[in-house]
């Protein structure tokens, strides 16, 4: 009984989120032009994702499972992962821009 109380809510929640994502993607625009997100948007996404991660740990691990040290551990480990992933993302973005600027540009039909 206790196992079901700990396992079922996260599984049902994850499944519901997955179903909502699939339905929204299915109904969404079929083709949209790609756009570059502003650095502010990227920062808000990173911070928001970290806070949602901590909320998930607080609800499922601390409240439902009673693991009192889980939030402290998740905050430290999550901060490390956030910093590591942000550094890797920034380096790869920088490398991609250098690679894109260094490659020869193909002439377009409307060029003189």
Q: How far apart are CA 9 and CA 66, in angstroms?
A: 14
- The reported pLDDT for the residue numbered 65 is 80
Residue 37's contacts (CB-CB under 8 Å, 6 or more residues apart) are 45
Phi and psi dihedrals of 10, rounded to 5? -65, -35
Please give the model's pTM, rounded to 2 decimal places: 0.61
- The reported pLDDT for the residue numbered 110 is 64
Which segments in the chain show pLDDT lower than 50? none
Q: Identify the CA nearest to 50 among candidates 21, 79, 70.
A: 79
List the domain boundaries for the chain: 2-28+40-102
Distance of CA 82 to the CA centre of its chain: 10
- The reported pLDDT for the residue numbered 66 is 83
Q: How far apart are CA 98 and CA 26, in angstroms?
A: 35
- The reported pLDDT for the residue numbered 75 is 94
- The reported pLDDT for the residue numbered 105 is 67
């Amino acid at each position: 009984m206790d196992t079901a109380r700990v396992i079922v809510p996260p599984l049902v929640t994850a499944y519901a989120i997955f179903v909502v994502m699939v339905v929204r993607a299915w109904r969404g625009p079929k083709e949209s032009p790609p756009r570059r997100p502003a650095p502010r948007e990227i920062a808000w996404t990173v911070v928001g994702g970290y806070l949602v991660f901590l909320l998930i740990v607080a609800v499922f691990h601390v409240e439902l499972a009673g693991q009192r040290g889980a939030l402290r551990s998740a905050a430290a480990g999550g901060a490390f992962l956030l910093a590591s992933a942000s550094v890797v993302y920034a380096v790869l973005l920088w490398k991609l821009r250098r690679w894109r600027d260094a490659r020869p540009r193909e002439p377009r039909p409307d060029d003189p």
